[in-house]
Structure 1
Amino acid sequence: MSTKEPKAALPDGLLLAYYGDDFTGSTDAMEVMAAAGLPTALFLQTPDAAMLQRFPEVRCIGIAGSSRGRSPEWMDTHLPDVFARLAALKPPLMQYKICSTFDSSVQTGSIGRALDLGVGHMPGAWSPMIVGAPRLKRYQIFGNLFAAVDGTGYRLDRHPTMARHPVTPMNESDLRRHLATQTQRRVELIDMLQLRDGAARTGACIDKLQGADTPVVLIDVLDEETLREAGRLVWEQRGAGVFSASSSGLQYALTAYWRSRGWIVQQTSLPTAGPVPVIAAVSGSCSPVTARQIAWARTHGFAAERLDLQAVLTEKTREAELARMVALAVTAVDNGRSPLIYSAEGPDDANVTGFDAIAREAGISRSDAARRVGMALAEIMRRLLDARPVTRVAIAGGDSSGEVASTLDIAALSVSAAMSPGAPLCRAWSDNPRRDGLEIVLKGGQVGGLSFFGDVLEGKPLAAN
């Protein structure tokens, strides 16, 4: 099933099309391709022909979605049409972009269901899966996923955040076992030893896995060598086209291999943004990483304000709470300070541990309550931007990023400058002149250094956590 390759260049046209299961991960994938010199556009809705024509040189197309927080039934309704439209673009690789911490469960964000819905849209005889991404401190070894925080590595089922995630807690680090609860599809593994002994270069390891079905094949990634070989395997064994449910590890792997062949620029490079007078920031993340970033911002001049969840989830008091938050944010901007509106500070915050009770008191389900919090943060940001000419914003939390970006009348994003690995500074494209050109950073809970919000304000690249 090998595909013969031009010796001196990548083929013309589209190289990759993907649907991201959340907004922050979607910008992460876009960043990798853009930094490799491959023009990429990320659309907030499935693009029509007119929108695609605005990006004639694009080599990678993404659609930012929200399936990470959705049910399998929602996926059954919404994903087939998206996959069909991406497949119609005839990319050699089509990706369902997942989080590098494999956020998923049988009930919520099922990666297995997405695989079952997507595999049939591409003709490939296998479905490769790359999750490890060393630049993001994510490593897959013999099928088990590890992540490092503050210089300490954790097996994912013992990770301080993912093992306690409020929606999709990880209780199994072996991704074969975890995925097997979500799909009946055969799940196989190409481990780091096979990658290093040459089997990946000949495709022999893939040939051994062939059958009447289309298996999912996890590929270990530990370091730059295995990353490059994983990229080689996927690219050279893509056949007439494959579907892959992968993290941005797929983009990192492909670009590592293409770079080794001299087909793309040898060094990743993105411009530096420079400072702005103020930024506007909102956070719906309950990660301890984000909690430390909020605390840093508070002590370094940001106007950090806590959203009253009970008030914003109660119909009678919702508008008053939104108005209060917007007024505080406007006052901060007028005084030359950057507002930061947040819903929680870490997993032990009372708004997190008591969230079920807060939702019950408001008379709504937990999932509806979570979505309404995101919608509240989005509305606060929208009203602030309508009231004051803030040019740069930051949003923390995958679900929150989706709600905010969707509310701001943005059609597409492109990468404009380096920030934190996995969270670039993006340029917004919009028919609304108040939004067109807006600078926006979407960050997952685990992403960024301690001074994340300050460095977004200053416009300087951040170190990985």
Structure 2
Amino acid sequence: MTDGRSSSQTAAPLPPGTLVAFYGDDYTGSSAVMEVMSFAGLPTVLFLGPPTAEQLARFEGMRAVGIAGIARSKTPAWMDEHLPPIYDVLAGLKAPITHYKVCSTFDSAPGIGSIGRAIELAEPRLGGAWHPLLVGAPALARYQVFGNLFAAIGGVGYRIDRHPVMARHPVTPMDEADVRLHLARQTDIPVGLVDFASMKAGHGDRTLAEECRRGARVLALDVLDEETLAEAGRLIWAHRGERLFAVGSQGVEYALVAHWRQAGLIEPAPPGRRAPPCERIAVVSGSCSPITARQIDFALDHGFEGIRLDAARAIDMRAWNAEIDRGIAGARQALGEGRDPIIFTAAGPDDPAVPALGTAVEAAGVAMSEVNARLGDGLGRVLDAVVREAGLQRAVISGGDTSGHAGMALGLYALTALAPLAPGAPLCRAHAGNAHDGLEITFKGGQMGQPDFFWTAKQGGASNR
């Protein structure tokens, strides 16, 4: 593939300063971007809200700067109010690439987590002659072929609209595999495609130009393997212009890193990091994923103490506060008896707690989004109390939407990466203006990690087990 390509002999050095500025539409996905860049030797900081000037100054010299958010669980009206000021902060960083990070399963809907609305709000502020849309990431077993998204689970690949988890997502089920058609439900911005066949034939630049001439402003880039991953990164970097707004999973950063390495612009992957084991760890989980359910089962079989909270009690704040207190007491007792507490609201999509919550929400006439926010905040309050009382040094928050609300309850303002645990879920160091400064924490999406993930987090990495 030689059409228009740079090589290690001709590629210009990477410019100084921030290379990538990004906003993640949930906390777990945001930390995944930080993981890709940091472990490629490109220092990265992730702020858990718009940073102050003082906070930015503390992390001067970072090659990537991100802001974690909760847009994935919010309405377009919420986006209209909250995203523009965040985009203005990102624009001020003057990075050549600004990235709106979405989940690698692309789950979204016109009324919740609208990726289309996020793009519409970004265009006038973050610019660019075109907007790459890159979701595939082979490291996560995510693949895009002729615009259709596939994801593997348990070693078996599924088209995303037939995926046993994402096709049944309780809020944003994926019933369309073609990312162009899925996005078209959320915006009128024309979407085109640079397919893997043209990439492998060396015609990627030509296809991109033709699609732009036809009026496409968002260009989906197929990623099937490491070759197309690097080529997607080259297309983004070579055609970035003065600035470029990109949309996609951490596949955007995987692609850029693959191209930069191939072009000799950064060093080969540095040796893997790991953290030392910790004596005790606490886990909170609001995930309904079957993957998380298997992780909970594994943890319970290996010495963790399970403490179930009744999510339906979040309908009433007085009842929910009492449930939170019960969770704290249970965790306190477990730690006192030498066991690691794992506080959860559901064990997979087939847990009776899931339909029970839906029935309770419908009967009470409250918004599910409000109840989900209470659940995340409550799990965060449990973790806050447990970590403070027991002086814990390490913790895990499981669940994409849960992580955002729970993270805010802890009062953290930034994260930096410490060690890999599983693709998309690194162990991080927390930065805070309270007792949690220095806490080692992982924000784990529901689809991430092997069954022994919580055990691995306690051990500091799979290589320690």
Report if TM-score (shorter chain) is over 0.5: yes
CA distance in 2, matches of 1:330, 1:253: 44
Residue 230 of structure 2 corresponds to 228
CA contact (8 A) 1:188 1:217 kept: yes
Are 1:301 and 2:303 an aligned pair?
yes
Are 1:247 and 2:243 an aligned pair?
no
Distance 1:81 1:214, change over 3 A: farther
Task: Report deviation, 1:210.
Answer: 2.7
Match of 1:155 among 139, 159, 170: 159
Match of 2:280 among 274, 278, 281: 278
CA contact (8 A) 1:125 1:214 kept: no
CA shift digits 1:310-352 (9 cap, x unpaired): 3343233222211111011011112221100001011111121
* TM-score after normalising by structure 2: 0.95
Match of 2:84 among 68, 80, 83: 80
Residue 106 of structure 1 corresponds to 110
Residue 14 of structure 1 corresponds to 18
Task: Report deviation, 1:361.
Answer: 4.3
CA contact (8 A) 1:8 1:262 kept: no
* DSSP-derived class of the 2:46 partner: strand
Unaligned runs of 5+ in 2: none
CA distance in 1, matches of 2:177, 2:451: 27
Q: How does 1:78-227 map to 2 (within 5 A)?
A: 78-200=82-204, 203-211=205-213, 215-227=217-229
Residue 456 of structure 1 corresponds to 457
CA distance in 2, matches of 1:194, 1:461: 38
Residue 319 of structure 2 corresponds to 317
Task: Report deviation, 1:209.
Answer: 2.3
Residue 428 of structure 1 corresponds to 430
CA contact (8 A) 1:313 1:373 kept: no
* DSSP-derived class of the 1:436 partner: coil
Q: How does 1:27-106 map to 2 (within 5 A)?
A: 27-106=31-110
Task: Report deviation, 1:73.
Answer: 0.7
CA distance in 2, matches of 1:182, 1:444: 24
Q: Give identity over the alignment, percent.
A: 47
Distance 1:3 1:259, change over 3 A: closer
Task: Report deviation, 1:244.
Answer: 0.9
Q: How does 1:389-428 map to 2 (within 5 A)?
A: 389-428=391-430
Task: Report deviation, 1:268.
Answer: 4.7
Of 106-115 and 270-279, more deviation after overlay is shown by 270-279
Query: In structure 1, what residue type is equivalent to 2:155?
Result: G
CA contact (8 A) 1:395 1:443 kept: yes
Query: In structure 2, what residue type is equivalent to 1:385?
Result: V
CA shift digits 1:92-111 (9 cap, x unpaired): 01110000000100110000
* DSSP-derived class of the 2:278 partner: coil
CA contact (8 A) 1:449 1:462 kept: no
CA distance in 1, matches of 2:375, 2:273: 34
Task: Report deviation, 1:261.
Answer: 1.2
CA contact (8 A) 1:131 1:250 kept: yes
CA contact (8 A) 2:393 2:439 kept: yes
CA distance in 2, matches of 1:123, 1:71: 23
Distance 1:208 1:214, change over 3 A: closer
CA contact (8 A) 1:128 1:217 kept: yes
Residue 369 of structure 2 corresponds to 367
Residue 448 of structure 2 corresponds to 447
Distance 1:313 1:462, change over 3 A: farther
Query: In structure 2, what residue type is equivalent to 1:209?
Result: E
Distance 1:405 1:315, change over 3 A: closer
Unaligned runs of 5+ in 1: none
Match of 1:326 among 325, 328, 331: 328
* DSSP-derived class of the 1:209 partner: helix
Please, what is the CA RMSD of the aligned residues?
1.8
CA distance in 2, matches of 1:315, 1:124: 46
CA contact (8 A) 2:5 2:234 kept: no
CA distance in 1, matches of 2:372, 2:182: 25
Q: How many residues align?
A: 459
Query: In structure 2, what residue type is equivalent to 1:183?
Result: T
CA distance in 2, matches of 1:99, 1:162: 11
Residue 438 of structure 1 corresponds to 439
CA distance in 2, matches of 1:220, 1:159: 19
